[in-house]
Structures are given as C-alpha cells and as structure tokens.
Amino acid sequence: MRLSWFILLLLFVFALPARGDTASSASIAKTEASSGHRYLRKHTRPTFNKDDETFGERTIGIKLPSAAIITNLIKSGEQALTKLAGRSTSEKQKTTESLFQNLNRAPYQKWVGSVSNIYKKKPQAGEAAIFRTLVAHYGDETLANLLAQARQVSTTESIAKQFETIQLDNWITQRKTADEIYSLLKLDAVDNIFTRPSLETLISYVTGLQTADPYDWLAVKLTKRYGEDGLAHMVAAAKPIGSPGEISAMLVRYAQTKSWLKNGKTLDDVFMRLRLDRETEHSVLENPAIKTWVAYATELDWENAYMLMFSVMQRRYSNYVAEQFWVGCGQTADDAFNSLKLEIGENLFENLVLRTWLSYVNILYKYGIKDEFALSLN
C-alpha cells in the first residue's frame, strides 16, 4: 500500500513543471535527524474529497518522462544537490539520487521500488530520501504548493501529508520563522490567501512552532497588510463553503472579533473600523464586510444582537434600511417580534414599537416571503 501511495504522489508531482531559475535553493536537514525530532501535528484538516473518481483516470494517461528529461531536472537542481552532498554522508542517499538519475525508460515504480528496497528496514528514512530528491528538483516553495494540491485529492492525501510533515520538520530544524514561510509560499502575492491550498501548510507550520495560535497570528498579519476592512472582504470571499480555506477564514474572523471584544469595542466602533460608515444607504447592505459586523454583534450580545444592529442601521440611515437589513439576515416576523421585545397582552397595541414590527411584516409580505404573520396580517 505504501508503495502505491508513493507512485500516485510521484505521478501527481512529476506531471507538473519543475521549478524555474528563480526558485530558491533548497536547504535540507539530514535524513537521520527525522528519527529524533518529529513534527507534532496539532492542526487537523477536514478531508477534502474533490476529484476522488477522476484522479486515477488523469494519472493513467500521463506519459512518463525519459531519462534525458529527468537528467535535465537533476542539472537544474545541481546547486541544491551540491549543498546536500556537503551536508550528508549517507551512502544510501547518494544511491537514491543515482537511481533517479539512471532511471532510463523505466516507470517511476522502478525508482520508488528500488528506494523502498534500500530502506526496507527504515521506511521513514526512505520517505525522507525520496523527499530530498523532490526538493532538489523543485525547491521548497514549489514542492510545498504541489504537496498542498496533492493533499486535496483523496488518493494522494495520506502520502502528501507524510511528505509535508518531513518538510515542516526541515523548516523547524532550519529555524524558519512563520513570516519566512509566509513569504516562501508567496502568500503575500495573492489576492485572497483563503483560496490557496498552501495556506493550510502555513497554518500547520505556525501550529508546530507553538509560539502563537495560527489564526490569531494570521488575523494580526493580514490586518497589518490589508486593514480590518480588507481582511473582512477576504473572509467573505472564501469559497466553497466547507472547504479548508473557508473554514480557516471563519476561524481567522473569529480571531479578529475576539480581539475587538478583548479591547472593548462597541458595535459602532466596529462599524467604523470596517469602513461601513463610508457607505450610503443604497450600498451599505451590499458591502461584504457587513458579514463580519454581524458576526461581531452575535459575539458581543447573542440575545440582543439583531435589535442592536437594527438600532445602528436605523440611527445611521433610516427605518427602511434597518428593515431591509433584517430581511437580508433572514429574520422572520416572529424573530422581529422577539427582537423588539414585544409581549402579547392588553397593552400590546399601546406599544409604539408595534408600528415598527407591523412595517417589517408588511415588507416580508411585499417580498413574497412565506411567513404566517405576514400572510395573516395582510
């Protein structure tokens, strides 16, 4: 089973281009070091089973490269290999590289099988040896992204996680900071970090450093770069729902709202921090950052959240905008009745707030929203 996993991952990785000249040289720790310190994974990723049925079909049709192409790949990583040779005295590692270079026209199964045979008594060392060769070809940055992609496919997820663990161990041994890995993965050069599979690699690394909560760290990092409103926009754009990126986005948003709570921010304070106060009555409800504001309101006062938000909208804009906001939040007539703290009794019709509720029920009716109160009162 282990051999088949290696083959699937290698087919996945080698089907993609090798690193370009701009890729940074790999700095690799000794294989033997992995038998001492092993990276302890605390971050648990949800399984993402996209493309379960189609991955095998895609890999079967891949044309395996010839020895000449592989030799060229080796040459492109010559500098990294030289550094590796200077660090490692392992004859087995040299044999691993040699087998890869002299693959001729045999498929990857032969190479993986040969490496596995050499390390049959120490399979983990064999994995590390294969990993070294992959780093020599692609560099840390490219390989990390390839493993992140392979991790999202069920057939290669398990072995990709094993290789990723080796890579994280190497970075810890090299004393890489979270900021360095953030830059190495080029997460500072993307429009939305939550759409990148390699974000999960960064989260695992920050978790392993045990110096900060990864989501607290990301909230601070991203706020400095994009602003509080910019981060809220990124979180709102994280898709698809239930994906690792979307789940991470929700946890980063929680870290952001938790920080505001700790610092005693009011609902109005956060409204302005998200720059929602710059919007007009026609655009405020279209701003994606409104979702973070709603999330903060529910953290601030769960029971009264919707009444508090209604009051802010009513004061800043109008009763109509406040009612439209409630409609957007999915508030039913019953929800609104409770939020307005109306009570059924003799004095109900003397309560001035009742007019607000009746106006809201009327809006639900006009929008054709199915609601027992909206139907019965119209």
pLDDT in tens, 134-187: 888 778 888 888 888 888 888 888 888 888 999 999 999 999 999 999 999 999
**227: how many CB neighbours lie within 10 A of its CB?**
14
Reported as half-sphere exposure (CB side, CA atoms, 13 A), residue 112 has a value of 17
pLDDT at 167: 92
Phi, psi of 178 (to 5 degrees): -60, -40
Burial class (CB in 10 A: 0-12, 13-18, 19+), 37: exposed
- Compute how many other C-beta atoms are within 10 angstroms of the C-beta atom of residue 225: 11
- The pLDDT tens digits of the residues spanning 289-310 come to 999 999 999 999 999 999 999 9
CA torsion angle 323 326 328 330 (round to 10): -140
pTM: 0.70
What does the pLDDT read at residue 50?
A: 36
Q: Judge whether residue 80 has pLDDT over 70.
A: no
**Cα–Cα distance, 181 to 34 (Å, whole number):** 20
Q: How confident is the model at residue 2 (pLDDT cuts 50, 70, 90)?
A: low
Distance between alpha carbon 136 and the CA centroid of its chain, in Å? Answer: 27
Nearest to 244 by CA among 201, 200, 182: 200
How far is residue 236's CA from residue 219's CA, in Å, rounded to a whole number?
Answer: 14
d(CA 317, CA 325): 11
Which DSSP string do the residues of 1-33 spell out, in sequence order?
-HHHHHHHHHHHHHTSPPP-TTSPPP----GGG
Give pLDDT, residue 44: 39
How far is Cα 275 from Cα 292, in angstroms, rounded to an integer?
Answer: 12
Q: Tokens for 231?
A: 């981060």
Task: Please report the pLDDT score of residue 357 as a whole number.
Answer: 85
CB environment 60-83: b (16+ within 10 A), e (fewer): eeeebbeeeebeebbebbeebbee
Q: What is the DSSP letter of 329?
A: T
**Residue 209 pLDDT exceeds 90:** yes
Contact 256, 213 (CB under 8 A): no
Mean pLDDT computed over every residue of the chain: 76
pLDDT, greater one: 130 or 295: 295
Residue range 243-265: average pLDDT?
97
Contact 273, 256 (CB under 8 A): no
Q: Round to whole Å and give the CA distance between 137 and 76.
A: 7
**Looking at residue 96, what is its pLDDT?**
53
Nearest to 196 by CA among 259, 137, 246: 246
pLDDT digits (tens, 9 = 90+) for 327-366: 999 999 889 888 888 776 656 666 667 888 888 888 888 8
Helices first, then strands: H and E counts in the chain: 19, 0
Question: What are the pLDDT digits (tens) for 86-119?
Answer: 444 456 655 555 544 443 344 556 766 777 788 8
The model's confidence at residue 38, banded by pLDDT at 50, 70 and 90, is: very low
Domain boundaries, the chain: 2-174, 175-300, 307-378
> Rounded distance, CA 67 to CA 65, Å?
7
Please, what is the Cα angle at 185 between 182 and 191, to 5 degrees?
85
Q: What is the dihedral of CA 77, 78, 84, 86, to 10 degrees?
A: -170
**Stretch 15-27: mean pLDDT:** 46
pLDDT higher than threshold 60 for residue 68 = no
User: Does pLDDT of 218 surpass 70?
Assistant: yes
Average pLDDT over residues 125-135: 81
Query: Comparing C-alpha atoms, which of 35, 31, 40 is closest to residue 128?
Result: 31
> Within a 10 A sphere around the Cβ of 292, how many other Cβ atoms?
25
